[in-house]
Amino acid sequence: MKAIILIVLTFVSFQISFSQKNQIPAKPKLVVGIVIDQMRYDFLYRYYDNYSEKGFKRLLKEGFNCRNNHYHYATTYTGPGHAAIYTGSIPAINGIVGNEWYELSGKLMYVAEDSTVQGVGTSSSAGKMSPRNMLTTTITDQLRLATQFRSKVIGIAIKDRGAILPAGHTANAAYWYDSQTGNWISSSYYMQELPEWVQKFNQSGRAKQFLQTWQTLQPVANYKNSEADNQLYERPLEGEKTAVFPHQINSFALLAYSPWGNTLTKEFALEAIRNEQLGKGSDTDFLCISFSSTDIAGHSFGPFSVENQDMYVRLDQEIADILNFLDKEFGKENYLLFLTADHGVADVAGFSQKNKIPAGSASGATHLQVLQEALEKKFGQGKWILYTENQQLYLNHTLLEQKKVSVKEIYEVVRKTLLRQPEVYSVVNLWDNEIDATLPDYYASMVKNIYHPKRCGEIMILLKPAWYYGFGKGGTTHGTFYNYDTHVPLLWFGWKVPSGETSQRTHIADIAPTLAMMLNILEPNGCVGTPIEAILRVLKVY
């Protein structure tokens, strides 16, 4: 009998010990946010057969997939996207209404521009950047506040805005790429000099090693979901006559157009984890990574190009490397990772036209000329439209006051004139808030969500689906409220995250409050998103 009791006690002791050893911690040691610039949702599946088992497929199979995830505003650009992900907000509140906009003073403002700081690691203006133009906190700010700034937060991206906006106002550091030198740089907003490990990375000449010929990773015959390589509506890289493989990556600027821009980003991010001891303290740390090269090249080649497929097949390896590193460094149960994108992208207009799909590239200069002529005919001489940006018209209020002309009167002429243009869908009066009367409810709310009275124009021009401004000589872009620009991936992986998926509609603004629930911290101060119940329920957060 005593022997039986001893066996039972030994077994119970073993079970308790095993349970304690394998218990998932109450909070992750490290949160890793991955933003893939210009990754449209369908890329997860269109290239699926070419992916390895350890990258995107692993996230899909072992993680939680929000399949119906969309942007909730009209100007789907890089700056607003990164800001919305981390603020849980909208341009109308966080102030990031575009990559550039005009201030009330008439000054053109770049999203991360800050003349009060100096570059660190560079003497060029590329270093004069900070998050000061963002008007709300981020989830990364809230984490720092919740831990009395013990949590470390670092942002990394080729693009400055892709590193700076996610890391927030209180970040320990943000690093971005100097295309003149191939170095990682920062600004005096964060530090007075680069840490020794960053200097060593730059001195290693790693970027220079990537100046090589870009060939496809797999045989072109394997890329069955791309069209033939030689297409006149793709835009060649600088120095090339045609947009076909092989591509000569022979400058630091061109490196950003190649898959090695992503490789360099990954390597630098992993060095940051090692050298900054992220995830090694008593509080949760946060690393924000944005892969920019997918967008930089995507504008030139488009979604159905061989280059785009090869870019994502190679990026799949970078994702696999990150997951493998995190597994070894922390264990899957100790880190939380999410992956999403800052916007999607339109198919190249030439590709759509070839396949009998209505599409085209509009000329902003032509629209402006037609409008100026119509306004002068109606109201007299003068520069009625001062600036155009983000599909918006910034009017000359001094002239309006002199001539005693209202914005509504200008709008009526603009609307009547532009609706004669075949590529224009609608024209919206932002100034007088006549959005609901102009658009269906679905689109009206998305336009309302971008209007910031101190940073937006008075009138907005909306093109038809598959139409966009510029890129008349090849390539494509984004920036609309249509699904190809709004539908992006949202994958969760790691700490407490089970395998599963939901087709319930989620929005980009929902990411930050979901993270806040997971980490038991306050959501950002301009947050408008809703925690994603589908994942929180299975995590037993509710």
Q: Is 241 helix (H, G, I), strand (E, B) or coil?
A: coil
Q: Do residues 152 and 285 lie in contact, with contact meaning Cβ atoms separated by under 8 Å?
A: yes
Angle between helices 78-87 and 160-167 (to 10 degrees): 20
**Phi, psi of 104, deg, nearest 5:** -60, -30
Q: Do residues 155 and 183 lie in contact, with contact meaning Cβ atoms separated by under 8 Å?
A: no
Angle between helices 78-87 and 139-146 (to 10 degrees): 40
**Phi, psi of 468, deg, nearest 5:** -150, 160
Query: Among residues 340, 297, 445, 429, which one has the least CA distance to residue 36?
Result: 340
DSSP single-letter state for residue 213: E
Catalytic residue among 75, 78, 340, 506: 78
Q: Do residues 196 and 291 lie in contact, with contact meaning Cβ atoms separated by under 8 Å?
A: no
How far is 513 from 535, CA to CA, in rounded Å? 12
How far is 426 from 433, CA to CA, in rounded Å? 15
Question: Distances in Å between the alpha carbon of 443 and those of 71, 372, 393?
Answer: 12, 28, 19
Q: Do residues 362 and 469 lie in contact, with contact meaning Cβ atoms separated by under 8 Å?
A: yes
- Residue entry with tokens 């907005």: 460
- Would you call 78 a catalytic residue per the annotation? yes
Q: Do residues 305 and 226 lie in contact, with contact meaning Cβ atoms separated by under 8 Å?
A: yes
| Beta strand 119-120 pairing with 183-187 | antiparallel
How many CA atoms lie within 13 Å of 482's alpha carbon, on the beta-carbon side?
16
Q: Is 11 helix (H, G, I), strand (E, B) or coil?
A: helix
How far is 346 from 368, CA to CA, in rounded Å? 23
Which helix (DSSP H) or strand (DSSP E) does residue 190 occupy?
A: none
Q: Pull the structure tokens for residue 123.
A: 């003497």
Query: Among residues 146, 42, 31, which one has the least CA distance to residue 86?
Result: 31
H runs (alpha helix) in 95-240:
139-146, 160-167, 196-203, 206-209
Q: Do residues 233 and 126 lie in contact, with contact meaning Cβ atoms separated by under 8 Å?
A: no
Which helix (DSSP H) or strand (DSSP E) does residue 88 occupy?
A: none
- Residue entry with tokens 């002239």: 399
Euclidean distance between the first and the last CA atom of the chain, given in angstroms as a whole number: 45
Catalytic annotation, residues = 78
